[in-house]
Amino acid sequence: MMANSLTVNAYDSHLQATGRPSPGITEPDLPPMTDRPTSDHINEIHHSGLKATAPRIKILRVFQESSQRHWSAEDVYRKLLEDHAEIGLATTYRVLLQFVQAGLLSRTYIEAGKAIFELNEGRHHDHLVCVRCGRVEEFCDPEIEARQQRVAEQFGFELKDHALSLYGVCSSPACRRGGR
């Protein structure tokens, strides 16, 4: 409950946060990619230099075999519970982090103080989230990306990464009407 820095440092989190950066493409279109054989999962994990254990395979499948793209650690853990995979929350966190470091997943902080994981398909994007229903859209605007680069240069910074989330009310009637 207090111990170290004084404003400075620990922004390091963001360095290892997102999987490999890559050039902007304008509209992700979410390919289904459902129910691939386990042997592929094993290879994917092996190629990351990790042992292909049951927890890792199951967690990878959660991402690849679901229409849901964005998962918090808790979400994943709960899905595993439902599926009767006997995997602890700590392991879930550990594996998610390893997958991020291996570039299989990417991690973002859409809402303050909670990490969201998604399959890293190589195309960088930012998020647009509905503050009423939580719906998340992905976008990548080359103009914004270019401008960020410019801003960094103006300040003499070598740009390494960025975090951008837009918050708004989506077009669903319920959200538009939206009390609260």
Partner DNA sequence: TTTGTTGCAAATTATTTGCAGCGGG
Partner DNA sequence: CCCGCTGCAAATAATTTGCAACAAA
- Footprint of a copy of itself (CB under 8 A): 1-2, 5-15, 17, 68, 70-72, 74-75, 77-78, 89, 109-116, 128-131, 133-134, 137, 139, 141, 143-144, 147-148, 150-152, 154-171, 176
Nearer to a copy of itself among residue 10 and residue 32 (C-beta): 10
Nearer to DNA among residue 79 and residue 140 (C-beta): 79
76: partner contacted, choices a copy of itself, DNA, none (Cβ within 5-8 A by kind): none
What are the structure tokens assigned to 68, written together?
């849901």
52: partner contacted, choices a copy of itself, DNA, none (Cβ within 5-8 A by kind): DNA
User: Under the rule (CB under 7 A), what is the footprint of DNA?
Assistant: 1-4, 10, 42, 46, 50-56, 72-74, 86-91, 93-95, 97, 113-115
Q: How far is CA 37 from the centre of its chain?
A: 23
Nearer to DNA among residue 86 and residue 161 (C-beta): 86
93: partner contacted, choices a copy of itself, DNA, none (Cβ within 5-8 A by kind): DNA
Query: For residue 102, what are the contacts with CB-CB under 8 A and spacing of at least 6?
Result: 48, 49, 50
141: partner contacted, choices DNA, a copy of itself, none (Cβ within 5-8 A by kind): a copy of itself
Length of the chain: 180
Cβ contact 51:29 at 8 Å: no
Tell me how far apart the alpha carbons of residues 71 and 62 are, in angstroms, rounded to a whole number.
9
- The single-letter code of the amino acid at 8 is V
Cβ contact 22:124 at 8 Å: yes
The secondary structure of residue 108, as a DSSP letter, is E
Find the DSSP H helices in 48-110.
Answer: 54-64, 73-82, 89-102
